[in-house]
Amino acid sequence: MNMMLTQSDTAQTRAQDNAARLWAASHLADLPTVTRFVEQRVRRALDSQGRWVRQAFAVTVRLEEPRRFMIHLYTEATLRDLQTAQRVVECAKVDGVGDQVRGGDLWARTEYGWRWMGGTVEAGTERHDDEVRECRDAACVDQWHSWSGDEQNEPCALEIRRPADWCTVHAFRFHGRPWEASCSAITDPTEGPQGLQEIRALAEAYEQMQAECDRLNNQTIGAAA
């Protein structure tokens, strides 16, 4: 009798999981994800089992227009916190949200959808030395960068240009430094006349990128004057 109940419960759980995944595939899988920075600070607290739980973000899903997932990243959140939030979103897109999934008690209903308010259990050796901060440079293609104190770990960047399959031209700058153009080659150029054309295209793309860097640097100097 107990075996029959166990098999029945297992079959029911499997059916619920499948239904949740089908719902997620039709309602959540294609939703965009938007990340925003909020002034609420990261919190750490002991849970009922005596473990330190870190709350560094919240995740919401809006089921009315504009339909989307949103990651609300708290002040002092790290790159690891952001990656954890992104995994929450990816799991929700596959498994579903709310009371339709196991562990759904971490999802609370809202006026327009659901909100995930869980936390991350910290290991005793875990360190959070960096902080993800919103990029303030309008020219940069990235929304955020990782910082360690006053040191920017990841540079601002302009849109990469690819004049040929084997090379790229890019530009970057760190906080307090000017924009710099650079180029890199993945393989050797194509042989023959085609390769000469590609090298000319690379040189032209580099000159254009350097001119853009000069323009941005001059804007910065003018603003500081």
Mean pLDDT calculated for residue range 142-162: 92
With H, G, I as helix, E, B as strand and everything else as coil, classify residue 63.
coil
CA–CA gap between residue 214 and residue 90 (Å, rounded) = 40
Tokens 């008690």 -> residue: 105
Same domain for 75 and 166? no
CA–CA gap between residue 164 and residue 7 (Å, rounded) = 60
Answer whether residue 86 is part of any domain.
Answer: yes
Tokens 């009798």 -> residue: 1
Share of the chain above pLDDT 90, in %: 54
Nearest-CA neighbor of 174 among 205, 142, 206, 203? Answer: 142
> What does DSSP say about strands 68-75 and 33-41: parallel, antiparallel, or unpaired?
parallel
Q: Is the pLDDT of residue 224 over 80?
A: no
Which residues span the domain enclosing 108? 2-121
Q: Identify the pLDDT of residue 9.
A: 58
**In the chain, how many domains are there?**
2
Judge if pTM exceeds 0.75.
Answer: no
Same domain for 159 and 112? no
